[in-house]
Structure 1
Amino acid sequence: MIKRIVLSISVFMFLGIAFTVYVNVRVEKVTQHRLYTDVSLIPRNKVALLLGTNPLNRLGRPNTYFSTRIKTAAELYCAGKADYILASGDNHSKGYDEPTAMRDSLIANGVPSDRIVLDFAGFRTLDSVVRAKEIFGCDSLTIISQTDHNSRALYLAESNGIDAIAISAPIKAGRLVRIRLALREWLARDKMMLDIWFGKKPHFLGERIEIPDV
């Protein structure tokens, strides 16, 4: 009996590791040619999708993942590589509002308020990407986040018929933070693949919101 339990656990662990390796290799292979790090080299898109994160880290200090995304988004706009920034993030309570924090920070970095569009229902990356198409009418996008997150977002975009590229914000974090977030990203990609296979939809859709031409 004990041998069967040990064997079952071992098989389960092997399958889990094999699935994670498959997913990560697949994501990297499909998306690597769509990732940019230099704003001057990336093609222009009408809309850039800025993916949300908490402005503060776990210690209550400024989150460098947030600040570098903001800086990269502002550079993209100021370089004429995007006409609008679609700031999509979590706003699950009055005390937690990623889109408004992104808007205020973008304005402080030189992006005009009338070129910022807010999506308050970007609870997950899947929600942000799918809503960009279904709600805001974006068939093509430039995605803004850090490299690992961008790869997952690009894979979601391709799976939903969106022609997307991504600009990767710099990572300014310690080694332990990078390792922790990399492990979390591997698991997030597993969940993403299962969501795609099982047809997971955003929490909310709603009426279409038109982003005007410039």
Structure 2
Amino acid sequence: MLGNTVHADGSLSPRLAARLDRAYQCYEQRQCKLVFVSGGVDASGTDEALAMRAYLVLRGVPSDSIVLDRSGNDTWSTARDASAFMRDRGLSSTLVVTQYFHLPRAMFALKRFGVREVSGTYPVFWEVRDIYSIAREVPALIWYGIRPL
């Protein structure tokens, strides 16, 4: 579960709430046993991963089923951290939750870090900002293909 904006007051951006709702659905439907929430901590101390865990716990996901990655400042870091977590526990498959336009790059990054089985899902959510985000994904995906591990 890749992070996104958490406001200084602790409220989640609509985009992040939609992702978390989709992650919750996957958990509830037993598509995953653990939810790996990954996000960074901004300069003011706002912690995306903690906010994501709190949101999921309020919806009924047990806290011991949620794994926090507080150093997932970007997709590359999240993929690195998630793959290391999986390797340490002998896990080989994951379901990525992010926006529809971001799935190819997130899935590719996990595969580059050695995760064998990667699938993805996304919330039904759209905003005008997606136009910029879609255009950004092409060069970002190319960079992830050549970026050293």
Matched, 1:181 2:130: yes
1:146 shift after superposition:
1.4
Tell me the equivalent position of 1:142.
95
Which residue of 47, 50, 55 corresponds with 1:105? 55
Q: Share of identical aligned residues, percent?
A: 24
Which residue of 107, 114, 117 corresponds with 2:64? 114
Matched, 1:53 2:53: no
1:184 shift after superposition:
3.0
State the TM-score, normalized to the length of structure 1. Answer: 0.60
Q: Which whole-Å CA distance do the structure 2 matches of 1:78 and 1:130 have between them?
A: 26
- Larger Rg: 1 or 2? 1
Matched, 1:83 2:37: no
CA 1:64/1:92 → structure 2, altered by over 3 Å: closer, same or farther? Answer: closer
Which residue of 118, 122, 125 corresponds with 1:164? 118
The answer (yes or no) to whether the contact 1:143–1:166 under 8 Å persists in 2 is yes
Give the secondary-structure state (helix, strand or coil) at the position aligned to 1:99: helix
Greater displacement, 82-91 / 62-71: 62-71
The answer (yes or no) to whether the contact 1:51–1:89 under 8 Å persists in 2 is yes
Matched, 1:74 2:24: yes
State the TM-score, normalized to the length of structure 2. Answer: 0.84
* Gap regions ≥5 residues in structure 1: 1-49, 202-214
Count of residue pairs the alignment pairs up: 144
Q: Which letter maps to 1:105? A: Y
Tell me the equivalent position of 1:18.
none
Q: Which whole-Å CA distance do the structure 1 matches of 2:37 and 2:19 have between them?
A: 11
Larger helix percent: 1
1:89 shift after superposition:
0.7
Give the secondary-structure state (helix, strand or coil) at the position aligned to 1:69: helix
Q: Which whole-Å CA distance do the structure 2 matches of 1:182 and 1:52 have between them?
A: 19
What are the Cα deviations for residues 48-102 of structure 1, in whole angstroms up to 9, with x where unaligned? xx1000134xxx9752111111111111111111110000111244522100000
Give the number of the structure with larger relative contact order, counting CA–CA contacts within 8 Å between residues 6 or more apart: 1
